[in-house]
């Protein structure tokens, strides 16, 4: 049988270790703020652009977020490791995009092709988006996958599926803009 002093010391060390681990990892924990629906997620991302709020955009993404470019972009930029485009690279893109030096406009909700059924805490939407940065417009069709975590929705992946016309010209996709900052 252990003495009370030893038992107290073991418990105190365990509590201290847990507190130290929690305090040390605090900067790595992102708040789970999401949105009440997939459409609100897109609305928050659009709002993040108009208010230049990087954190608002980040709050709408899951930690396992993935971006997949249109096949033509992969062929044009084969040296970029597109299969590794996760949250960190997306937030790097967002930082570039929302720089005060840029003039940016984003429309994610103006042309929703299909709103997928919300089932088993997942939903998939097909949209045509328009992203204008410093006078250059990207317009593409994308499949967006959302997940629900603790009653809040987040964007889990963005997959550009094809280029779309903008002012009667086939526009680049957002993947080309993402590639430009990676070179």
Q: Which CA distances in Å does 170 have to 11, 69, 166?
A: 66, 16, 6
Regarding whether 96 and 44 lie in a shared domain, the answer is yes
What CATH number corresponds to the domain at position 169? 3.10.450.50
Which stretches of the chain score pLDDT less than 70? 1-32
Residue 51 phi/psi, 5° resolution? -100, 0
Regarding whether 81 and 110 lie in a shared domain, the answer is yes
Residue 19 domain boundaries:
1-30
| Number of domains making up the chain | 2
- Confirm if 170 and 60 have CB atoms less than 8 A apart: no
Regarding whether 43 and 24 lie in a shared domain, the answer is no
What's 113's DSSP letter?
E
Regarding whether 63 and 20 lie in a shared domain, the answer is no
Determine the pLDDT at residue 2. 55
Instruction: Using alpha carbons, select from 13, 19, 87 the residue that is nearest to residue 54.
Output: 87
Regarding whether 39 and 14 lie in a shared domain, the answer is no
pLDDT in tens, 128-177: 999 999 999 999 999 999 999 999 999 999 999 999 999 999 999 999 99
Regarding whether 6 and 88 lie in a shared domain, the answer is no
Q: How far apart are CA 17 and CA 44, in angstroms?
A: 38
Regarding whether 142 and 106 lie in a shared domain, the answer is yes
Is 163 strand, coil or helix?
strand
Regarding whether 132 and 175 lie in a shared domain, the answer is yes
End-to-end CA distance of the chain: give it in Å, rounded.
Answer: 65
Regarding whether 177 and 120 lie in a shared domain, the answer is yes
């Amino acid at each position: 049988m252990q003495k009370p002093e030893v038992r107290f010391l073991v418990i105190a060390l365990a509590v201290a270790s847990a507190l130290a681990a929690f305090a040390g990892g605090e900067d790595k924990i992102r708040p789970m703020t999401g949105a009440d629906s997939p459409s609100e997620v897109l609305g928050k991302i659009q709002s993040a652009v108009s208010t230049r709020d990087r954190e608002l955009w980040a709050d709408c993404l899951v930690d396992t977020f993935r971006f997949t470019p249109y096949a033509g972009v992969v062929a044009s930029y084969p040296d970029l490791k597109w299969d590794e485009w996760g949250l960190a690279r997306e937030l790097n893109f967002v930082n570039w995009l929302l720089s005060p030096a840029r003039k940016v406009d984003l429309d994610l909700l103006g042309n929703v092709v299909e709103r997928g059924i919300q089932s088993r805490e997942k939903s998939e939407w097909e949209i045509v988006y328009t992203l204008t940065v410093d006078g250059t417009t990207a317009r593409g069709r994308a499949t967006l996958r959302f997940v629900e975590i603790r009653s809040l929705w987040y964007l889990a992946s963005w997959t550009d599926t094809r280029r779309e016309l903008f002012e009667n010209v086939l526009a680049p996709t957002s993947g080309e803009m993402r590639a430009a900052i990676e070179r």
